[in-house]
Amino acid sequence: MVARRGHDDAGTASRILDVAERLVQVRGFNGFSYADIAAELKITKAALHYHFAGKADLGEALIARYAARFAEALAELDVVDGDARAKLDAYAGLYLKVLRNRTMCLCGMLAAEYQTLPPPMRDAVVRFFDQNEIWLERVLERGREAGRLRFAGSARDTARMIVGGLEGAMLVARPYGDVARFQVAAASLLAGLAPAADDARLTGVDATAAQPA
């Protein structure tokens, strides 16, 4: 009976996080309440507070789960055969997948509301972007050493440019409902890292491959 209850509790907590994540990605953290989640899941607000005492606790759990999934995706990119350019291409594809689902990067949405978030959530958002930049910095350094990438300045600064560029491209594409708009921006951003003698097009974010949003 205890094991069954634990399983049910975990399942309910997961469903709460699923709904809350979608709401953040569409409306922002300040754009929904516990009442919205309770109504969608047909549970009481008391049941929500049982799993997540307050909205700040829910927010921390959301970021932790999202960051863990993103870290897993980056780890998968590391083990897949391909050079640095292919890895950057696949990295941009992670953002493209989110946008095609008519949502935004969870931490990108939270960054827009940064000043209104509780301090633990602010710290978690920063850690998410740090995690991405560290991964990108490593890929960029290896790509430059192998002669597959070319960029001025440090790999760290270029990693920050990529994260900022992709997040910004998502944000601007959103009101247009135009996935191709993101793809053009992402392809141009990454093409600028290719050696001049190479074909600069990175196929995974090629605008010609755009699908309806």
Q: Say what the pLDDT of residue 208 is.
A: 37
Domain positions in the chain: 55-209
pLDDT digits (tens, 9 = 90+) for 61-101: 999 999 999 999 999 999 886 899 999 999 999 999 999 99
Q: Say what the pLDDT of residue 195 is.
A: 84
Q: How far, in Å, are 99, 135, 187 from residue 193 at the CA level?
A: 23, 16, 10
pLDDT digits (tens, 9 = 90+) for 155-196: 999 999 999 999 999 999 999 999 999 999 999 999 999 885
Q: Say what the pLDDT of residue 82 is.
A: 80
Report the alpha-carbon distance of residue 44 to residue 48 in Å, rounded: 7
Report the alpha-carbon distance of residue 213 to residue 200 in Å, rounded: 25
Report the alpha-carbon distance of residue 114 to residue 38 in Å, rounded: 25
Q: Say what the pLDDT of residue 7 is.
A: 47
CATH superfamily of 55-209: Tetracycline Repressor, domain 2 (1.10.357.10)
In the 3-class helix/strand/coil scheme, how is 194-211 assigned residue by residue? CCCCCCCCCHHHCHHHCC
